[in-house]
Structure 1
Amino acid sequence: MSSFEYLLLMGACLLITLPLELLFSARVYRRWKVLIGALIPIVLVFSLWDIVAISREHWAYNPKFVTGVHLGNLPLEELVFFIVIPICALLSYEAVGTVLEFLAKKGKSRKRGNDGA
C-alpha cells in the first residue's frame, strides 16, 4: 500500500460525487460561502477531537499509510477527510433533495392531468 492511498481515496470520493453537482444541480460548489460556513465547525471540532485523542494516545496512525505531513500531531489525511466527507455528504443530500422535488412536481402534474379526465 502506498502512503498516498488515503489521499487518493479522498480524491476518488470527490470525483465520484462531482456528477451530483453537475447533473442533479446540487449547488454545493456554487454556494462556496455556505459550504465554507458549513465546513468550519466540522473541521474545527473534529480536528480538535483528533488532536486531543492522538496526544492522549487513544489512537494513532500507521506511518505506512500516511504521507508523513502533519499539522501538529494531526496527519494531513485526517484533515482532508474532515473536509472531503462533509462535502460528499452535502452533495448527496442536495442531489436527493433535487430528485425528490422533481418527483413531487411530476406527481402533481400527473394528478392535475387526471383531474380533468
Structure 2
Amino acid sequence: MRHLAYAGMLVFCLLGTLPLDRWFGLGVLRQGRRLSLTLLLAAGPFLVWDLLATHAGHWWFDPAQTLPMRVLGVPWEEVGFFVVIPVAAVLTHAAVGEVVGRRRARRASR
C-alpha cells in the first residue's frame, strides 16, 4: 500500500480543490492557455531540476513509495505533482479571492 501514498496525496489535493472551480464559478479550468502557461512556468524549471538532480544521484525516489511507471527515470507521481499542486494553488487562490470579494461587496452594500 505504501507505493500508493504519493499518488493518493495528489488525488486528495485534486478532490479538495477541483470542485472550487464549479462551486464559486471561477472559470479557472476553462482558461486553457492561461493555465497551461502557469503550469509551464511552475512545472518546467522544477521538473528539469528534478531530472538533473535524480540523474546526478543527488536524490532518488523510493520505489516502495511510488508507482513503477517512470518518465525519464522520475516517478509518474512526481511529474503529476508539478501539475496538480500548481492547479490546486491557482484554484485555492481564485476561490479565496472570490470569497474576499463577496465579503467586501456585502460590507460595501450595507
SS of match in other structure, 1:22: helix
Structure 1: any 5+ residue segments left out of the alignment? 111-117
Please give the alpha-carbon distance, in whole angstroms, between the structure 1 residues aligned to 2:42 and 2:75.
16
- What does 1:27-38 correspond to in 2, within 5 Å? 27-38=27-38
Q: Larger C-alpha radius of gyration, 1 or 2?
A: 1
- What does 1:37-56 correspond to in 2, within 5 Å? 37-56=37-56
Deviations 1:18-41 (A, max 9, x none): 221111223211212211111012
SS of match in other structure, 2:25: coil
SS of match in other structure, 2:59: coil
**Structure 1 residue 2 displacement after superposition:** 3.5
SS of match in other structure, 1:3: helix
- What does 1:60-79 correspond to in 2, within 5 Å? 60-79=60-79
Number of matched pairs: 110
SS of match in other structure, 2:27: coil
**Structure 1 residue 5 displacement after superposition:** 2.7
Q: Work out whether 1:23 is the aligned partner of 2:26.
A: no
Q: Work out whether 1:59 is the aligned partner of 2:64.
A: no
**Structure 1 residue 8 displacement after superposition:** 2.2
Q: What is the identity, as a one-letter code, of the residue corresponding to 2:100?
A: L
Matched-pair identity in %: 34
Deviations 1:68-104 (A, max 9, x none): 2111121111000000000000000000111111111
Structure 2: any 5+ residue segments left out of the alignment? none
Please give the alpha-carbon distance, in whole angstroms, between the structure 2 residues aligned to 1:3 and 1:30.
33
Q: TM-score, normalised by structure 2?
A: 0.92
**Corresponding residue of 1:113:** none
**Structure 1 residue 67 displacement after superposition:** 1.1
